[in-house]
Structure 1
Amino acid sequence: MALIFGNPSRKGRTNIEEAKKDQRLEMARNLYLGGKINIVTTQEIPNRQVAGTFGLIVCRSYNFDNAFYGLIAQAMDANADAILSYRENVAFHPEGDKYYSCYGTAVRMKKK
């Protein structure tokens, strides 16, 4: 019967995972809007030096906000405080959907 009707514990887990994802994106949004993370399209931030590079981070979604704030959440997970060389791309599907890709290099800046 579990195969026909689905496993109730999985449905509960999915809702919890979605809630955690929403909280993560909300935290990333607040960091960005609060000016706590720098995102620039250039390879450096004027008058600041890079202390460490964590590498390329990428986030994709059918929703731009999810792609953008997901990218910031990934930078937070890597303990980065800036994203350099930020780029975004939009792919258009034949059905009319847009697929957003946001990417950049996660870095930790030296203290001023």
Structure 2
Amino acid sequence: MFFLLGGQEKKARKAEKQARVSDATSRVREVFLAGRFPVVTTHQVEGRRIAKVLGLVCCRGFDSEEAFFGMAGRAMNKGAQAIVGYSENVAFHPDGSKYFSCFGTAVMFEYDPADPEALPIMLQQKFRAQEQLSALNEVI
């Protein structure tokens, strides 16, 4: 009887977690598709010097986009500005399903004061929010 009554809380938590994951994935997708977060198979990004290697990031899933954007999201959470050495692997199961693995090295670039996009994306968002707040304070 307890099992039947307690199942709703578990389902609600699971639905809430999926909503958070989909929101995070959509943010990562927007940043990647806007060209602000390069993912390359080479070990460098043309025109940018790597200042710091943050480490290996990887993600797995039954959907290729879920695995790719999950990997990119993990790199962004570490403060990365790009992923170099990107690779992916697909495992085929006898039942016909596929399992995707995406991995690469999260890196930060050298700071270039002439390039406003040279800061990590999380810091860019923080500075934009501060600029908007100071603009609002000037109006008031």
Corresponding residue of 2:78? 78
Return structure 1 stretches of 4+ with deviation > 6 angstroms: none
CA distance in 2, matches of 1:7, 1:99: 29
CA distance in 2, matches of 1:36, 1:8: 40
Q: Which has the larger radius of gyration?
A: 2
1:45-99, CA deviations, whole angstroms, 9 ceiling, x for partnerless residues? 1221112111011100000110111111111111101000000111000100010
The Cα of 1:109 is off from its aligned counterpart by 1.0
- 2:38 maps to amino acid: N
SS in 2 for 1:43: coil
CA distance in 2, matches of 1:2, 1:17: 23
Corresponding residue of 1:20? 20
Corresponding residue of 2:44? 44
Corresponding residue of 1:108? 108
Identity level (%): 38
Q: Which range moved further: 24-33 or 2-11?
A: 2-11
SS in 1 for 2:53: strand
The Cα of 1:5 is off from its aligned counterpart by 4.8
Unaligned segments of structure 2, at least 5 residues: 113-140
SS in 1 for 2:108: strand
Q: Which range moved further: 83-92 or 7-16?
A: 7-16
SS in 1 for 2:15: helix
1:10-57, CA deviations, whole angstroms, 9 ceiling, x for partnerless residues? 211111100000001101100110111011101111221112111011
SS in 2 for 1:69: helix
Corresponding residue of 1:68? 68
- The two structures have a TM-score, normalised by structure 1, of 0.94
Unaligned segments of structure 1, at least 5 residues: none
Q: Which has the higher helix share?
A: 2
Q: Which has the higher strand share?
A: 1
CA distance in 1, matches of 2:6, 2:95: 30
CA distance in 2, matches of 1:6, 1:90: 38
